[in-house]
Structures are given as C-alpha cells and as structure tokens.
Structure 1
Amino acid sequence: MTFESQNPATPAAPAPSRRRALTALAVTALGGSVVLSGCAVANSDGGSESAAAASDTLRVVLQQEPPTLEPCEANLTSTGVIDRSTVTEPLVERNPETGELEPKLATEWSSEDDTVWTFKLREGVTFHDGSDFTAEDAAATIERAVNSDLGCNVEGYVFGDDDLDVEVVDDTTLTVTAPQADPILPLRISFLEVVPSETSTTEKVREPIGTGPYQLESWDAGQKISLAAYDGYWGDQPAYAKAEYQWRSEGSVRAAMITSGEADIAMGLSPEDNIGDLGVPYPNNETVAIRMHNDKAPFDDIRIRQAVNYAIDKEGIVASLYGGRDQVAAQLVPEGIVGHNADLAPWPYDAEQAKQLVEEAKADGVDTGAQISLVVRTAQFPKIQELAQVIQEQLTQAGLNVKLKMLETSQQLTYQVRPFAEDEGDIGLMIQHGNQAGDAAFTVDQYMLSNGAQSAFGTPELDAMIEKADAATGDDRQAAFEEIFAYQNEEVVQFAHIAHQTGMIGKAATVDYAPNSSTGDELRLAEIKPAQ
C-alpha cells in the first residue's frame, strides 16, 4: 500500500549545509541533574511579562508543569501537549477527525509485505538551529527512541521490546524493517517526534530542537514556558508570533483566567469550574480505570480484584461528579477504536457482592487487611481528587484497607511505567488512558502484555492472543481485539474500568479553535487563530 501527499509543500530555499551543535539541556532522568551541552537556550533565565500579553501572543494555561519536553516522552500528555506538532514533528501524523494518516516530515510511505516500509521525506525542512533535516535525522530518531537503552516512554508505549532495522537510502529516503509483518507500522512511527541526529542517545534532553512551527524560547522553571514562531518553518507561518504556557492545578483558577482575559486557552476544565459559554466540550478518547497489581496481597487473589469492580459505583460517579457527561466504561477503549467490544457490559455496582467476595477470600487465608496504596496523579483531570476519595471510601466499605496517595507527575510516573516503584502496600493505580491512534494495539500492547510498559501483569494465554491480534488485518483484527477485552474482564481482571471521559477546554472569545479528540494530548498551536 502507498500513501502520499496530495499537496506537497513547495521546498524552501536550501538551509546552510553546516551540521549543528546540539543546543539542549541533557538530563539523565526526569528532574535529574542538569548537564549543559552546547550553548544555553536563548533567554533561558526568562523574563516577567505583563499578564495582559500582547495580542500576538497566544496564552495557554495547563493543569501542570511538564516534567520534561524530551521528544521521546511526548506520548505523555503533560509533555506531548506542548511538543507534538508544535515544537517537534513526526514523519506522519494521524488526522483526529478522520483517523487517516497524513504527511508531515514524510510525504509518501509504502510497503509490499507490511514488513519493509519505505518513507520519502520532505525536502527544504530545517531544524530550529537552521540545519537541514535529512533521512539521517529520521533514522537517528528511530534508533534513539526505539533501539537504544535510553528508556524512552514511547518505546514501551508503542513498540514494546521490538527493535526496528533502519536504513538511510539517500538524504530523502528511509527504509524501516519490522521484525515481523506490522500492518500499522506507519501509525506507530507517527508517535516519534523527530530530533537532530546529534541528539544524545545516553541522556534525555529537557529542551528540544525540532522542526515545528514554534521553537522553544525560554523555560522559566515553575513559572512559564515561552515559544516563538520559527521563521524558517517549511509550512505556513502560525497566526501568533509567540506562545506562552502557564499552569494552575485548580480548574476554577484556570477557568477564571479565561473569563478575566488572562489566558486564551485553558486545558482540562469542566462546567463546574464556572467557565460558562466559554467552555467547549470535545470527545477526548480518554478512559479512567484502576490498574491493580497482583504481586502481593490482597490483589494477588482474583476475587479481590473482582470485588473492586463490584464496589465502585460508576453510574453514581459519572452522575454526581461529571454531570452525566461521561460514559460508564466496560473496557479501556471507547467506541470508535478498532477492537472496541460493543457487547461488553460494565461491571454492575453491587456493594454486597463486593463484601461477600472479600469475606470469602479472607476465609481462605487471604490477607484482606493488607494495605492497598491507591496512587493518583494530582490535577491529572478534573475532580480527580474527589473521584479518588469516593473510590477509597467505597473500597473501604467493601472491607479493604486503602491508603490514598496523591502524587505529582514525576512521582506518579514511577508507579505508572516499568520498572514500577516499590511500595509498602499493594498498588491500585488510577490511570487515564487515551488511545489517540485509533487502534487497540496501542492499548493492549502496553497495558495487557505480561511485560507491557504499563501492565502490572498478564497471562501466557493473553500474550498469545495479543500477538495474534497485532498481526491481523480487517475484520479478523477487530474480532481478535474484541476477544482480548472480553478475556481480560473474565479471566485476568487487571482493571476496574470507571468511565470514558468527555474533555473540555476554555476558549476566549478572541480565539478561533475547534478542539478534537487529540487536543488533550497534542494542542497544535498552528491550528489556533484569532477570531474574525
């Protein structure tokens, strides 16, 4: 199959042929010690601008400060909302409205056997340091994010343990070979944000160099991140010359920044934040669930994991906390994702059945009084703390010993992604999973394989089912993933699904922008324009 651009951009004038010195701050781990490599980012000490920014500045307020802008961590919402298709760009990009892949830094891609894929790259593209983008950079990006020991989150999220064989044919041609036939390899590649070939493969970078419409101008830690439109961008210049991100954990505060004119876009809101008519809802493909570990009591007994599913009043949570806008979930992906099983029903709320299962397990010697740590990320989505408190109370009523742990992003990530943090209790992690790719492989490979990057456990039978589904196409692929979601609910029960969410942003009347299912993960600033 072959995909190509209908309207390839006219190549820009050739960039200087010099090769670049990497201009980034390298860090050995998120929040780790900083090592200066090359010269510092311009104006990195920041500057205090008036809250009433100039009209050529787009002002965005987020729920939290990103832990990093490392491009290979851009599948994390807090990083990707800034990086993806704004500072950095992928080879191909999924259209969130149609689900189709579209050209970005690659203009065509094709394969005869779904194993060897050839990408033709866009000419006339430069990085923010002025140097040329070539196939060498695309290859180095894949090697760094997928094949190295850097430990990029995107590796486990998208590619698992599989390495890719990458070959530079010429400056504008790249071949990528998968270890076995992979009909969705270009979709996987869309998760890789391209960086210069000189980018370190032993240290992660906090402040990236990309090819996007905006370049990083400054990061005033704890205060704001400033971007400036890149004059050498290969595509159309964005409407705003500058962009500024701030962050406030309280949704009502973010909403007030919109209504008072202090911000143009506010992320992660709900109607209860008093945003009024300036709140714009959108389907965000996010699903909230509790992921249970089974390496110690009490979750090492399936009856306790079943009890958790019965104990949570999902209908009540959706009605009381989210105004009935969300949909009670029976699986990790919503309708519209390849593999969604429409025949699955959510676990019913049955407090008495939950108590009975706990008592049965206790009678058989299970330590049902052992501590469960309910790990929750602060400000991850609206009313998350209230939700966590409701769940803690409902599980306590079922006879379980639950301690609530509200953690900042960098701390919570140590529980979310392998290798998991040790804890004094068994772990129930609140997850918010968004399948923006539109295919269940991006859910089950990371959350259900025995060694999945965000999977607490699995079974050999489930692993074999996933391997079969990943290689399937068409109706066979849909049926195979449907079977996986049913098997999880019946035989594994790693998850207590809660709800498929509906997102909401705050949008000033002076801004023209229609959010889509990808907005919460990648707010593409080039799509935002002043209202006419």
Structure 2
Amino acid sequence: MKPTRSTTLAATALVTVALTATACGPSGPAKSKNSPGTPGGAYSVALTEPDHLLPGRTTSSYSLQVLQGLFDPPASLDPEDGSVKPLAASSWSSADNIVWTVRFRPGTTFHNGERVTAASFADAWNAAAYGPNGWEANYYFAQIKGYDALNPSEEGAKPAARTLSGLKVLDDTTLQVTLKAPFGQFPMLLSFPAFAPLPKAATVNPDAVDVAPIGNGPYRLDGRWERNQKIRLKKFTAYRGIRKPMADDIDFKIYTSRETAFTELQAGNVDVLTTIPAANSAQAKRLFGDRFSIRPSGTMDYLGLPVKDPRFADPRIRKAISMAIDRKGITQAIYNGVYKPATSVVGDMIPGHRPDACGRTCAYDPAAAKQLLVCPGGVAGARAGEVATADPTDAQWLTAGGHPPKGH
C-alpha cells in the first residue's frame, strides 16, 4: 500500500455474470487532509470487514487491501504495464521453468524484530499448502511439486506429507522451488500475498497471528483489530524494503455496506473509498469532478456452482445457467455501464488475455439455455435465490440475473 497525497476513490471490478466476468470501476482522488506532496499524516479508508489477516488464509479483496500494507510478498505487479518486479525477493531465475531459484533481500525483519529468511517463506507456503489446515489460498500452491501429497483427492484420506517436496532452503536468502511441470508465469504467482513470509509465531499459533498479524511490510498493526469497527496501521520505522510509504498512519474504517461508506465519503468522514456503488457513479462524478476516474481492474467476482450436487453435475446444466443470465442488461440497468461483462476468466488488462474465450457460454440466450435443459431434465429446486455472498451489497446483481430456466 502506497498512499499518495491525493487519496484515491475507486470502485473495484465487479462481475455481473455467472461463470466469468471482469469489469472497470470508477477511481480517482477524493479529498485529502494534507497538502499535496507533503509526506506524513493519516488517511482513512472505507472497508468491508476482512475474514482473515493471515496471508495464506484469505483471498478476500477486503483482507488483501490491509495485507498489502502489512506484508511484502516476493514480487509485485506494476499497475501500469502488468510486469512482475522484485519486492521481498531480489531476483529469480530458471533454466527450464521447472526449477526456480528465488533469492531474497538480506537484512529485513518482521515487525517483531525477527529476521526474515528463506525459511520464513518456505514455512508460510507449507502451512498454506497443507490441506488439513483448510487455508483459503491453498490452491495457489498447486503448481509446486509435492502439493498432491499434502492434498489427497480421496475423501477421508490422510496427507502423505506435511511439507512440499518442491521447496528446498539453500541458505538464509535462497529458496529453490521445483514445480510439477514447466510454468513460465511462476514469478507472477509470487506477487500474490499468500506467498508472503510468516514469522515463527504463525506456525505455532496461527489463530493468534491471524488477528494480530506480524508482517514484513512498510506498515505494522497499531493496536488491535477492532472487529467490525476499524484496523489501524502505522508506518514501520525499521522497514528495509523497497517501497516508500507516504502516510504515517492508515485507518481502515469498517462499514457494512458500500452505500453507507459512500455516504460517509460525501460527509467527509472517510478519505478513501476503494469500491463505490456503481449506481452512484454519475453522482460521484458530479461531486468529485476530476478526482473521479474510471480505470480497468483485473478483479473478478463470479457465481460458483456446487458441482458435487447431482443437480449441477451435468456441464450442460451449468452452461444453461450461464446462458440464462443477461450480463449486459445487468451492467446497464444496475451499474450504469460502469462495469462490463467478461468473455474470459482473465481480464483484458492482464498479459495473455484472449478475447471471447468464453464464447456462446457467456452470451445471453434463454431459448438455447432452455433447450440444453431438455435432455438433463432440468434443475428442479435450484433457484437463483439460493446464493451466499460475503458482501451484502452484491445482492442486487445476484438477484437481477433471474431464475435459471426450468427444464421439462
């Protein structure tokens, strides 16, 4: 996290489709309490309550906003061109895209003074990859050799190992990573917060560190995580990384809805809103003028179908549900065209994106959807209202998709 003197008002990408979608959201500076270009000061950021603050334990965008300040993963993504750049790592190399040598910057510490070493990264990755731990980012480590032994596919089977065989600590600053197969995008994977290091305390009592995180980033936790109220970060004065934090303090104010947060922004009670309600985009543009802009995002929301449920086991049923959702209509009616439906699981701002990869499956065609259900026999009992979401403000687009077409 690198706040500037002109704080940012942004709406992250919201997916308005089933299966695949990306979007663009409004962003731009809101009002700042300090003079432009002047270091220091405090900023408040509106946030929905995170689920966890242990990097490998979450993939929630609300958690990641906080983790970006608390932790330095090995790499970072340049927001301008999408290139991968070293962060906690100083370099990485591979002759075959299978065996990678990752070298970390020496002389860095966690917020409790403990040295950050290659083992700090290996321990964190092993904890996230170990299936019985049930950490949300587990699957991010599936490319590493030994992952399958930690995550047996047979129900009730016990893991054959507790650590990834593909990780080898060569010395305090060097980690050798062996993948299951060639994967040239491995450095990009290293930019995800789940690949950040963890102190020894996290392997002993992860629940305690989850609520009182000890990171290696430019900011440390100030005080305690006040559930459903606030999270305060303070600049870590012993930070030896390469990021240059501008603010002295960052206050994350937790709100139950984006609408409430937007009202607080208007009232001047919060400086930064990273996700404004798209329905308020026109109003926000009038209020904030050139401090409001639209920029692309690679963030994606999606509807996940329970494929173990016999009603959704047939891929034709899942395709029918996708084709029964009017993505374009939803983006126009609910989000004023601020967001856009995706045609791929990879956003168009990400290198490697292929346009229209989803094809007809993402095209609104209720007649074809109904025809697909004739053979499988329909999805009796599966209704659009049976949806669970971590963000209550998503209810509008979730219900706007209508009900799946019924078969015969």
TM-score range, shorter chain: 0.7 to 0.9
What percent identity do the matched residue pairs reach?
26
Matched, 1:131 2:114: yes
Determine the C-alpha separation between the residues in 2 that align with 1:216 and 1:131. Answer: 16
Matched, 1:258 2:265: yes
The alpha carbon displacement at 1:294 in A equals 3.6
Per the alignment, do residues 292 and 103 of structure 1 end up closer, same or farther by CA in structure 2, a change over 3 Å counting? same
Matched, 1:374 2:380: no
Counterpart of 1:295 (choices 308, 313, 317) is 308
Per the alignment, do residues 246 and 352 of structure 1 end up closer, same or farther by CA in structure 2, a change over 3 Å counting? same
Determine the C-alpha separation between the residues in 2 that align with 1:305 and 1:175. Answer: 41
Equivalent AA in structure 1 for residue 219 of structure 2: Y
2:23 aligned residue: none
2:79 aligned residue: 96
1:194 aligned residue: 197
Counterpart of 2:90 (choices 107, 131, 135) is 107
The alpha carbon displacement at 1:356 in A equals 4.1
Deviation string, structure 1 residues 156-211 (Cα, Å, up to 9, x no partner): 13426353532332222222222333323333233211111342167443121111
Determine the C-alpha separation between the residues in 1 that align with 2:368 and 2:169. Answer: 60
Secondary structure at the residue paired with 2:133?
coil
2:363 aligned residue: 348
The alpha carbon displacement at 1:283 in A equals 1.0
Determine the C-alpha separation between the residues in 1 that align with 2:309 and 2:278. Answer: 40
Aligned Cα root-mean-square deviation (Å): 2.9
Counterpart of 2:67 (choices 76, 83, 107) is 83
Counterpart of 2:45 (choices 49, 60, 63) is 60
Per the alignment, do residues 389 and 195 of structure 1 end up closer, same or farther by CA in structure 2, a change over 3 Å counting? same
**Are the equivalent residues in 1 in contact too, given 2:125–2:141 (CA < 8 A)?**
no
Deviation string, structure 1 residues 369-427 (Cα, Å, up to 9, x no partner): 233463231437xx521112212x343xx337xxxxxxxxxxxxxxxxxxxxxxxxxxx
**Are the equivalent residues in 1 in contact too, given 2:82–2:350 (CA < 8 A)?**
no
Determine the C-alpha separation between the residues in 2 that align with 1:368 and 1:140. Answer: 44
Bigger shift: 216-225 or 69-78? 69-78
Deviation string, structure 1 residues 196-231 (Cα, Å, up to 9, x no partner): 134216744312111111101121122111111111
The alpha carbon displacement at 1:147 in A equals 5.0
1:214 aligned residue: 219
Determine the C-alpha separation between the residues in 1 that align with 2:323 and 2:245. Answer: 50
The alpha carbon displacement at 1:90 in A equals 0.8
Equivalent AA in structure 1 for residue 246 of structure 2: A
Secondary structure at the residue paired with 1:199?
helix
The alpha carbon displacement at 1:279 in A equals 3.6
Q: Which runs of no fewer than 5 residues in structure 2 stay unpaired?
A: 1-31, 35-39, 149-163
Secondary structure at the residue paired with 2:43?
strand
* Larger proportion of strand: 1
Structure with greater contact order relative to length (CA < 8 Å, sep ≥ 6) = 2
1:384 aligned residue: 394
2:169 aligned residue: 168
Determine the C-alpha separation between the residues in 1 that align with 2:181 and 2:205. Answer: 28
Per the alignment, do residues 259 and 310 of structure 1 end up closer, same or farther by CA in structure 2, a change over 3 Å counting? same
Counterpart of 1:228 (choices 224, 230, 234) is 234
Per the alignment, do residues 348 and 262 of structure 1 end up closer, same or farther by CA in structure 2, a change over 3 Å counting? same
Deviation string, structure 1 residues 418-454 (Cα, Å, up to 9, x no partner): xxxxxxxxxxxxxxxxxxxxxxxxxxxxxxxxxxxxx
Determine the C-alpha separation between the residues in 2 that align with 1:339 and 1:98. Answer: 13
The alpha carbon displacement at 1:72 in A equals 1.0
Per the alignment, do residues 58 and 114 of structure 1 end up closer, same or farther by CA in structure 2, a change over 3 Å counting? same
Determine the C-alpha separation between the residues in 1 that align with 2:198 and 2:341. Answer: 40
Bigger shift: 187-196 or 333-342? 333-342
Q: How many residue pairs align between the two structures?
A: 338
Determine the C-alpha separation between the residues in 1 that align with 2:315 and 2:142. Answer: 29
Determine the C-alpha separation between the residues in 2 that align with 1:175 and 1:129. Answer: 26
1:69 aligned residue: 53
Per the alignment, do residues 337 and 374 of structure 1 end up closer, same or farther by CA in structure 2, a change over 3 Å counting? farther
Equivalent AA in structure 1 for residue 263 of structure 2: A
The alpha carbon displacement at 1:310 in A equals 3.0
The alpha carbon displacement at 1:252 in A equals 2.7
Counterpart of 2:320 (choices 307, 313, 317) is 307
Matched, 1:272 2:284: no
Per the alignment, do residues 280 and 252 of structure 1 end up closer, same or farther by CA in structure 2, a change over 3 Å counting? farther
2:103 aligned residue: 120
The alpha carbon displacement at 1:367 in A equals 5.6
**Are the equivalent residues in 2 in contact too, given 1:216–1:227 (CA < 8 A)?**
yes
Secondary structure at the residue paired with 1:90?
coil
**Are the equivalent residues in 2 in contact too, given 1:271–1:279 (CA < 8 A)?**
no
Deviation string, structure 1 residues 9-58 (Cα, Å, up to 9, x no partner): xxxxxxxxxxxxxxxxxxxxxxxxxxxxxxxxxxxxxxxxxxx9998221
Determine the C-alpha separation between the residues in 2 that align with 1:101 and 1:248. Answer: 33
Per the alignment, do residues 329 and 104 of structure 1 end up closer, same or farther by CA in structure 2, a change over 3 Å counting? closer
Under a length normalisation based on structure 2, what TM-score does the superposition of the two structures give? Answer: 0.73
The alpha carbon displacement at 1:270 in A equals 3.5
The alpha carbon displacement at 1:101 in A equals 1.7
**Are the equivalent residues in 1 in contact too, given 2:50–2:62 (CA < 8 A)?**
yes
Equivalent AA in structure 1 for residue 341 of structure 2: V
Determine the C-alpha separation between the residues in 2 that align with 1:129 and 1:74. Answer: 22
Q: Which runs of no fewer than 5 residues in structure 1 stay unpaired?
A: 1-51, 401-532
